[in-house]
Amino acid sequence: MVRATDVRDRERAGGKRSALVNHSGAISSAAMTRSSMRGEDAMLDKNKPGPGHSSEGRDLSGRTIVITGGAGFLGSHLCRHHLEAGARVLCVDNLSTGRLRNIEDLLEGHDFKFVKHDIIDPYEPGEAIDYIFNMACPASPPKYQLHPIRTFDTSVRGSHNLLELAMRRGARILQASTSEVYGDPAVSPQAEDYRGNVVTMGPRACYDEGKRAAETLFYEYNHLHKVDTRVARIFNTYGPAMDPEDGRVVSNFIVQALQGHDLTVYGDGTQTRSFCYVDDLVAGLMALMYTEGDLADPVNLGNPVEFTILELADLVLAETGSTSALKHLDLPKDDPKIRRPNIEHARDALGWEPHVPLIEGIRRTIPYFAAEIAQSAKAQV
């Protein structure tokens, strides 16, 4: 079982996993003990806010921000951060995967406006705008694979519509791209100049290729029409406001553990991911949008510390106190084997890096899912 000190010191060690995992993919307790003896936290310090780490100190009074996908996981956090910074927020969402529950406490605010709209169709805000965050598109494989053509259209036609809006209004626009543009990478960590190991025809391609095409549109509008564009390549992110039925690994594991169900591990569990807590990720998006300078090229945003899926499962079981077992299922087609960002560009250009260790983020997230489960159970009575 993973101990708190083991995880903290894993992150201090810079995210290396090979010494902690034996040939079968299981965590070596001896290696964990050795890891826990290594120095103080040099990579992730949850008490160190860092540049651009929140909306605190950023004054956006008099600015109007369009946030598409604003009722979703990341979008709803962006809405809150901007309201705290004094901005007016136009939250646009078709509620296909976004949830009104994420923003219901904001609906009565005089600086907040919710618009139910699908960005596949052109959007006209009817008022002056300054910035656009394009967060619209299902990001969970089970969700985006339900309607693959709409997923692709949301990325491509939706981005085209918003770029046209930004061009007409002279607004800066940020695209929420994804680490999935790297496909199943043959190198690790992945830097922005890595061109990827991708599949254009497969169950994940509607999302991956849609996001790649959107990046091309952002490039062309920046070069041909001088639109002020930003592109964030977002790696695995977790935290409060996730849908309990999201289908991604952190939400799956925590919900299953709290409900006493087996934790579903796809494949042997030795595939890796790098998990970024939502507060850190939103701080990175804010820094990318509001840092001045030529920042049109893609920027990786994520946590560079790498964990196997088995390590995440053990951590969730330890922190929830669950006795659930692990249930291994076949690995989905084209599922990446490794995922770890190189964030040197974000550090240099934005002064940004994540500060919340995985164990702390999981501890903050568990009560959220427990409350969601309790509320759902109460509604069914």
Count other C-beta atoms under 10 Å from residue 327's C-beta.
12
Please check the confidence at residue 24 and state whether its pLDDT lies above 60.
no
Nearest to 344 by CA among 127, 113, 63, 43: 43
Annotated active-site positions, please?
A: 207
Tell me the pLDDT band of 55, cut-offs 50, 70 and 90: low
Strands 112-116 and 131-134: unpaired
**Which residue(s) pair with 257 in the sheet?**
none
Task: Render pLDDT for 118-164 as a digit per residue (tens, 0 to 9).
Answer: 999 999 999 999 999 999 998 888 888 899 999 999 999 999 999 99
Task: Render pLDDT for 331-370 as a digit per residue (tens, 0 to 9).
Answer: 988 888 999 999 999 999 999 999 999 999 999 999 999 9
User: Tell me, what's the pLDDT at 274?
Assistant: 97
**CA-based Rg of the chain, rounded to a whole angstrom?**
20
From first CA to last CA, the distance across the chain in angstroms is: 36
Q: Which pTM was predicted?
A: 0.88
Q: How far apart are CA 281 and CA 234, in angstroms?
A: 8
Q: How far apart are CA 100 and CA 93, in angstroms?
A: 9
Tokens of 262: 């087996």
Tokens of 106: 């904001």
- Residues of 274-303 as b/e, b for ≥16 C-beta within 10 angstroms? bbbbbbbbbbbbbbbbbbeeebbbbbbbbb
Nearest to 355 by CA among 47, 130, 72: 47
**Strand extents, DSSP E, the chain:** 64-68, 88-93, 112-116, 131-134, 172-178, 229-234, 237-238, 263-266, 272-273, 276-277, 299-301, 307-308, 326-329
Q: What percent of the chain has pLDDT over 70?
A: 85
Backbone angles phi, psi at 207, to 5 degrees: -85, -55
Task: Render pLDDT for 156-209 as a digit per residue (tens, 0 to 9).
Answer: 999 999 999 999 999 999 999 999 999 999 999 999 999 999 999 999 999 999
pLDDT averaged over every residue in the chain: 88
Q: What is the DSSP letter of 105?
A: G
Tell me the pLDDT band of 34, cut-offs 50, 70 and 90: very low
Dihedral in degrees, nearest 10, Cα atoms 291, 113, 49, 180:
-70
Backbone angles phi, psi at 324, to 5 degrees: -60, 150
Task: Render pLDDT for 87-127 as a digit per residue (tens, 0 to 9).
Answer: 999 999 999 999 999 999 999 999 999 999 999 999 999 99
Q: How far apart are CA 304 and CA 42, in angstroms?
A: 13
Tokens of 315: 């951590």
Residues 71, 73, 79, 84, CA torsion sign = positive
CB 262 within 8 A of CB 302: no
Q: What is the DSSP letter of 191?
A: P
3-state secondary structure of 68: strand
Tokens of 327: 């249930």
